[in-house]
Chain A
Amino acid sequence: DTGVSQDPRHKITKRGQNVTFRCDPISEHNRLYWYRQTLGQGPEFLTYFQNEAQLEKSRLLSDRFSAERPKGSFSTLEIQRTEQGDSAMYLCASSLWGLAGTRGETQYFGPGTRLLVL
């Protein structure tokens, strides 16, 4: 399977603990996005990378959140001192941007990591 993969699929943690999620994008995709989705709502943008550079961060991304994409391939999203309000599905998407002749950009989503903070 060459789609976007995320690990773990589910994570239960206690309030105050740190958690880290991993996203492996589609090979050769240069953009990688993180979104957060709460139950019954559409995903909300958190941050994105082009290659290894983090180009934009949402105001939703407090200083407890940090994301990296050190080699321009996989990415990690860490949440420190988790709070119950962090409980959500964390989605990763990747895309190939800048391909000559294409119009627009198609983002392919992974299955998500569902986080529950007790």
Chain B
Amino acid sequence: TQLLEQSPQFLSIQEGENLTVYCNSSSVFSSLQWYRQEPGEGPVLLVTVVTGGEVKKLKRLTFQFGDARKDSSLHITAAQPGDTGLYLCATAGGTSYGKLTFGQGTILTVHP
């Protein structure tokens, strides 16, 4: 089972600040997904990255896949209180199918 390490585990920032969350593995990802989860709800898919070096943008969120496909990052510009939540990276491992392995998550709190 591929292990994913996310950092930082906790992030508490003020509205308007920028932040970056990291997801790393010793193994190559076939693809990597980023989810956001609010308290009491299930994870919601934000993006899937597949190609090494790929960069995807979703409004103020920028997702990057490492060239070697062993790491990924999520950057949020000008964070807002509505960005508060648990951010999870996940992978199906050597394939792009089947059970997902998740990182332990980054709990983000954005203060007004």
Contact = CB atoms under 8 A, between A and B. Distances in A.
Q: Which of B35, B43, B48, B103 has the most CB of A within 10 A?
A: B43
Given A33-B99, A48-B98, A104-B97, A42 B104 contact: yes
Interface size, A (range)? 20 to 34
- For chain B, give the interface size range: 20 to 34
A62 interface: no
Interface string B64-99: 000000000000000000000000101010001111
A44 B100 CA distance: 8
Interface stretch (A63-71, A73-81, A110-118): A110-118
18 contacts: A33-B100, A41-B105, A43-B43, A43-B88, A45-B100, A48-B98, A56-B99, A58-B99, A91-B42, A97-B97, A103-B50, A104-B96, A106-B48, A107-B45, A107-B100, A110-B42, A111-B40, A112-B40
Interface of B: 4, 6, 30-31, 33, 35, 40-45, 48, 50, 88, 90, 92, 96-105, 107
Name the 7 nearest CB pairs between A and B, nearest first: A42-B102, A104-B96, A109-B42, A45-B99, A105-B97, A42-B105, A109-B43
Contacts of B96: 103-105
